[in-house]
Amino acid sequence: MTQAKGRGAEAPQISEAEHAVMEALWQRSPLTANEVCECVCSTRDWSLPTVKTLLSRLVTKQAVMTQPDGRRFLYSPAIARDDYVGGESRRLVDRLFGGSTASLVAHLAEQEALSESDIAEIEALLKEIRA
């Protein structure tokens, strides 16, 4: 089994459905396809073949690793959740705000999406970054 990609590795783009599978694997892995289905099928009205298709796509995208286990495979994330979130966040900022994180924060503030708690947390993060 190969190691999970570390920081700086380009996170693959994954669909919303694939993301649900990844969340199950980030919470607990390795998992069999049946175990992944137990985690996601009931809330999404999916079947085992759907999960197997999604796992296959994720393996092709190198987002998931496989390990033989007898007649079945165990699946594990090939990329850390933090790295994936970082890549998706960067793509969002680049696509919608021309790469400016400040523009994103300003947009959220203008839309009143920032609570007092959010503002306090951002201020604390900025103080930590400056230190």
Instruction: Assess if residue 116 is contained within a domain.
Output: yes
Encode the chain in three state secondary structure: CCCCECCCCCCCCCCHHHHHHHHHHHHCCCECHHHHHHHHHHHHCCCHHHHHHHHHHHHHCCCEEEEEECCEEEEEECECHHHHHHHHHHHHHHHHHCCCHHHHHHHHHHCCCCCHHHHHHHHHHHHHHHC
CA 88 to chain centre: 8
Residue 8 lies in a domain: no
Indicate whether 20 and 63 sit together in one domain.
yes
Count of structural domains within the chain: 2
Same domain, 57 and 94: no
- Which CATH number goes with the domain that contains 109? 1.10.4040
The whole-angstrom separation of Cα 118 and Cα 5 is 31
Token pair in block for residue 47: 């079947």
Question: Is 6 a residue whose pLDDT tops 50?
Answer: no
Nearest to 81 by CA among 1, 17, 2, 21: 21
Q: Which domain holds residue 33?
A: 16-79
Residue 121 lies in a domain: yes
Same domain, yes or no, for 94 and 72?
no
Mean pLDDT, range 36-53, rounded to an integer: 96
Residues 55, 93: one domain? no
CB atoms within 10 A of CB 24: 20
Q: Determine if the pTM surpasses 0.85.
A: no
**pLDDT tens digits for range 68-116:** 999 999 999 999 999 999 999 999 999 999 999 899 888 988 887 778 8
Does any domain span residue 10? no
